[in-house]
Amino acid sequence: MAAVPAAAPAQSQTPTQAVAMEPAAPKTVLAASQRSDVATPTAVPVTRTSPTRQARGTNRPNTAAAPVVATAPVLDDTPVELRFARFVAAMKESRTVDAERELAGLKERLPAGSLGLLRAQAWFDLRAGRDAAAAGGYRTILERLPGDEEAAINLASIQSRQQKTEEARATLDAASRLQPDSAALRAALAQFTPAARQ
């Protein structure tokens, strides 16, 4: 069972084991217009001249030193939506280094408790095998958004791997009661129903 970003329709996959579930990817909302440009340093030439000096009774003319170029710091003004989309793409393509770089950029731009950052961090932790951290992130999301499809499916997948089948079923059941129209939640819950596995 995989839930994909809002830009694509949800897809179902048959699990290889009875209760193995594919983690759901974070949802993303892309802005209508996105700038992909990054601020580049600007060069401002500065010319220094030395004052007229007198040495041993002779006048020396003003001499100009080579221009010194001052550069402004590079500012990252990549839109959050674009950075999030890059993060999702890197995660789907298993480019961990790129995903970690985009996640670091999101941490610089988003408040620590923002839902988007919680989703990205929990997914990254899940893929990195840090189940405890990922489960904590998904529980936080479910506390703030009860019935959240992605968080419920991913938390249930962690619980299932930890042989906590009843907890996984309860997580999915609670979410599906709040979102009865969610096909993804119904399909995930069906993996824990004995009749559905025969």
**Domains assigned to the chain:** 80-197 (1.25.40.10)
Q: Which of 8-12, 19-23, 79-83, 186-190 has the lowest mean pLDDT?
A: 8-12
Q: What is the pTM of this model?
A: 0.62
Rounded to whole angstroms, how far apart are CA atoms 36 and 139? 34
pLDDT tens digits, residue range 38-60? 333 334 444 444 444 544 555 55
Cβ atoms within 10 Å of 76's Cβ, excluding its own:
10
Q: Which residue has the tokens 């770089």?
A: 101
Task: Give the percent of the chain with pLDDT over 90.
Answer: 54
* More reliable by pLDDT, 130 or 26: 130
Does residue 25 contact residue 87 with C-beta atoms inside 8 Å?
no
